[in-house]
Amino acid sequence: MRRLSILGATGSIGQNTLDLVRRAPEGAYRVAALTGGRNIAQLARDAREFKAEIAVTAHDDLLEPLRDALAGSGVEAGAGAGALIDAAERPADWTMSAIVGAAGLAPGLAALGQGGTLALANKESLVAAGPLMMRRARVAGARILPVDSEHSAIFQALAGEDSDAVSRVVITASGGAFRDRPLKDLHRASVAEASCHPNWNMGQRITIDSASMFNKALEVIEAREYFGFDPDQIEVLIHPQSIIHALVGFRDGGLMAHVGPPDMRHAIGYALNWPERRALPVEPLDLARIGRLDFTAPDPARYPALGLAWHVMRAGGLAGAVFNAAKERALDHFIAGRVGFMEMAGLVEAVLDSLEAHPDLAAPEITLETVRRADHLARQQLDAHA
Nearest CA to 348 out of 179, 127, 170 is that of 127
Is 12 an interacting residue with respect to ligand NDP (CB under 6 A)? yes
The DSSP output letter for 298 is P
Give the interface segment with Mg ion, choosing from 36-44, 150-158, 163-171, 363-371 (CB under 5 A): 150-158
CA 386/CA 382 separation, integer angstroms: 6
Q: Are 75 and 51 in contact (CB under 8 A)?
A: yes
CA atoms of 159 and 150, how far apart (whole Å): 14
Q: Quick one: 171 or 366, whose CB is closer to Mg ion?
A: 171
Measure the CA–CA gap between 289 and 370, rounded to whole angstroms: 51
Which residue ranges make up the annotated binding site for 1-deoxy-D-xylulose 5-phosphate? 123, 149-150, 174, 197, 210, 215-216, 219
Exactly one of 4, 5, 11, 234 binds ligand NDP (CB under 6 A); that residue is 11
| Residues annotated in a binding site for Mn(2+) | 148, 150, 219
Residue 63 in contact with ligand NDP, rule: CB under 6 A = no
Q: Please give the residues from 301 up to 360 whose contact with ligand NDP meets the rule CB under 6 A.
A: none
How many residues in the chain?
Answer: 386
Among 46, 53, 124, 148, binds Mg ion (CB under 5 A): 148
Complex with ligand NDP: residue 136 or 205, whichever CB lies closer: 205
Angle in degrees, 0-180, between the axes of helices 264-273 and 149-158, rounded to the nearest 10: 50
70 sits near ligand NDP (criterion: CB under 6 A): no
Which of 34, 69, 79, 121 is in the footprint of ligand NDP by CB under 6 A?
121
The sheet carrying 29-36 orders its strands as 76-79, 54-57, 29-36, 2-7, 94-97, 117-120, 143-146
Q: Applying CB under 6 A, which of residues 53, 148, 222, 375 lies at the interface with ligand NDP?
A: 148
Contact in structure between 80 and 106 (CB atoms under 8 Å): no
Where do runs of H (alpha helix) occur along the chain? Answer: 12-23, 40-49, 63-70, 81-89, 105-113, 123-140, 149-158, 191-194, 204-212, 214-227, 264-273, 287-290, 308-315, 319-335, 344-355, 368-385
List C-alpha distances in Å: 327 to 44, 354, 372, 374, 381.
31, 15, 15, 13, 11
| Candidate ranges 95-103, 287-295, 340-348, 363-371; the one touching ligand NDP (CB under 6 A) | 95-103
Which does residue 98 bind out of ligand NDP, Mg ion, none, counting CB within 5 to 8 angstroms by kind? ligand NDP
Contact positions with ligand NDP (CB under 6 A) in 159-218: 200, 202-203, 205-206
Stretch that binds ligand NDP, among 35-43, 157-165, 272-280, 286-294 (CB under 6 A): 35-43
Give, as ranges, the residues between 269 and 308 that touch Mg ion (CB under 5 A): none
For residue 8, state whether it binds ligand NDP (rule: CB under 6 A). yes
Torsion-angle region of 145 (φ positive above 0: left; ψ -120 to 50: alpha; else: beta): beta
Residues 39, 167, 233, 273: which binds ligand NDP (CB under 6 A)?
A: 39
225 binds Mg ion (CB under 5 A): no
Binding-site residues sit at 10-13, 37-39, 122-124, 148-150, 174, 197, 203, 210, 215-216, 219
The answer to whether 58 contacts ligand NDP (rule: CB under 6 A) is yes
Helix (H) or strand (E) holding 29: strand 29-36
Point out which span in 87-95, 117-125, 308-316, 323-331 binds ligand NDP (CB under 6 A).
Answer: 117-125
Nearer to ligand NDP, 101 or 304 (CB): 101
Are 293 and 48 in contact, with CB atoms under 8 Å apart? no
Q: CA 328, 332, 333, 334 torsion: positive or negative?
A: positive
Q: How far apart are CA 383 and CA 339, in angstroms?
A: 11
Task: Please give the residue ranges that form the binding site for ligand NDP (CB under 6 A).
Answer: 8-14, 36-39, 58, 98-100, 103, 121-124, 148, 200, 202-203, 205-206, 264
Task: Please give the residue ranges that form the binding site for Mg ion (CB under 5 A).
Answer: 148-150
